Amino acid sequence: MKVIIFGRLHFGTVIVVCSSKIDVCPIGMIHRQNPDEDVNDRNLISKIMIDKQYSNGLLGIEDWSHLYVIYWMDRILDEKKTLLCPGSDSGMPTVGIFATRAPVRPNPIGLTLVELVRREENVLVVKGLDALDGTPVLDIKPYPYWLKGRWIVITKYKTPAYLGKINK
Amino acid sequence: MKVIIFGRLHFGTVIVVCSSKIDVCPIGMIHRQNPDEDVNDRNLISKIMIDKQYSNGLLGIEDWSHLYVIYWMDRILDEKKTLLCPGSDSGMPTVGIFATRAPVRPNPIGLTLVELVRREENVLVVKGLDALDGTPVLDIKPYPYWLKGRWIVITKYKTPAYLGKINK
């Protein structure tokens, strides 16, 4: 793994130059009961098959009820899209890709918070994972944050008003 | 970008073979006011410098108060550690790396939920980012989830009892 990034300051504007890529190796993959099911149905159960070389890394994971799953959306085309229009209704504003969870993004990294149903050796059975069958998994982390003796869950937050017009 | 993963079923045990790596390109980097400050102090302000080619992707991000920052912990040694003992006290159990947020993991991907203070063109000023100065950023996503007309914030969760003994 080799990463070289140069940060240069020019007249108050920072130019970040990405001169090298980062190599990430999948730690496992997602297996759905039915490859054609609606991945947005948060009640569906799916499995995360962890590579045998990392199965020790799951020790004690049953003590957590919820996990973040970080995965690579490998069915996404390698587009350099930075803007999109959320939803299918007219009148929606154009927003930047980092202001959305849309899968077409510079790095198609997916992040979903799932419920851990149970562990079966190197397999995690989870509920609510909205990733396609066969998707490579990059990392798994427990939820929520633990810092200096307390749990951090954000319950006061601001969101865009236009989202209230979608899915109603 | 090329990913090939084979899933094979042998006598009920799934073997996942990672035969190819995934190339990820940083979209920016983290800049701290003081490179030596305590990154675990969630009150500190830091900056995320987004590469100019992706600055359009920040359009409308100010409508969100909180963001997930996904980054690459490039100062972490390339260890193949899968087990660790959380905290410095004796009597802590040995747990798997995926049951912790420890930085030494198969892919040193960091995930932090931060407060967006403001945007200055291609720079996001954020509060609570526990990443080192110069860390490459891979993705930024809004918080929380929006699905089928409702926000998803998990407030009922289970966590390991042993964590109650740390940082007290």
Residue A160 to chain B, least CA–CA distance (Å): 5
| Residues contacting A148, CB < 8 A, separation 6+ | B40, B167
pLDDT tens sequence across B76-85: 876 778 999 8
**Once rounded to an integer, what is the mean pLDDT over residues A19-28?**
86
Q: Count the helix, strand and coil residues of chain A and give each as a percent rounded to the nearest 5.
A: 10, 40, 50
Instruction: Tell me the C-alpha to C-alpha distance, in Å, between residue A97 and each of A14, A74, B142.
Output: 21, 17, 10
**Once rounded to an integer, what is the mean pLDDT over residues A72-92?**
83
pLDDT of residue A37: 96
Q: From chain B, pick out residues whose CB is under 8 angstroms from the CB of A51.
A: 16-18
Site of tokens 């045990």: B13
When pLDDT is cut at 50, 70 and 90, the band that residue A5 belongs to is very low
Residue B136 tokens, joined: 């490459």
Mean pLDDT for all residues in chain A = 86
Q: What was the ipTM of the complex prediction?
A: 0.89
Residue A91 to chain B, least CA–CA distance (Å): 15
Q: From chain B, pick out residues whose CB is under 8 angstroms from the CB of A153.
A: 153-155, 157
Asked if the Cβ–Cβ distance from B27 to A106 is below 8 Å, we say yes
Q: From chain A, pick out residues whose CB is under 8 angstroms from the CB of B48.
A: none
pLDDT of residue B12: 37
Asked if the Cβ–Cβ distance from B59 to A96 is below 8 Å, we say yes
CA distance A1 to A24: 8
Mean pLDDT for all residues in chain B = 86
For a pLDDT cut of 90, what percent of chain B falls above it? 68
Site of tokens 């100062």: B75
In chain B, the residue whose alpha carbon lies closest to the alpha carbon of A148 is B167
Neighbours of A103 (CB within 10 A): 16
The answer, for B99 touching chain A at a CB cutoff of 8 Å, is yes
The answer, for B143 touching chain A at a CB cutoff of 8 Å, is yes
Higher pLDDT, A77 or B134: B134
pLDDT at B17 over 80: no
pLDDT tens sequence across A111-144: 999 999 999 999 999 999 999 999 999 999 999 9
**Once rounded to an integer, what is the mean pLDDT over residues B37-53?**
95
CA distance B87 to A44: 36
Half-sphere exposure of A26 (CA within 13 A, CB side): 30
Asked if the Cβ–Cβ distance from B157 to A66 is below 8 Å, we say yes
Per DSSP, what are the bridge partners of residue B110?
A: B71
Question: Coil, strand or helix: which one is B128?
Answer: coil
pLDDT of residue A167: 59
**Once rounded to an integer, what is the mean pLDDT over residues A24-41?**
94
pLDDT at B8 over 70: no
pLDDT tens sequence across B119-154: 999 999 999 999 999 999 999 999 998 877 789 999
pLDDT of residue A99: 97
Measure the CA dihedral A30/A141/B18/A74, to 10°. Answer: 50
Residue B93 to chain A, least CA–CA distance (Å): 9
CA distance B59 to B143: 16
pLDDT at B26 over 80: yes
The answer, for A139 touching chain B at a CB cutoff of 8 Å, is yes
Helical ranges in A10-128 per DSSP H: none
The answer, for B157 touching chain A at a CB cutoff of 8 Å, is yes
What count of CB pairs under 8 Å joins A to B? 303
Q: From chain A, pick out residues whose CB is under 8 angstroms from the CB of B100.
A: 142
Candidate from A6-15, B72-81, B106-115 with smallest mean pLDDT? A6-15
Measure the CA dihedral A76/A79/A84/A88, to 10°. Answer: -40
Q: From chain B, pick out residues whose CB is under 8 angstroms from the CB of A155.
A: 153, 155
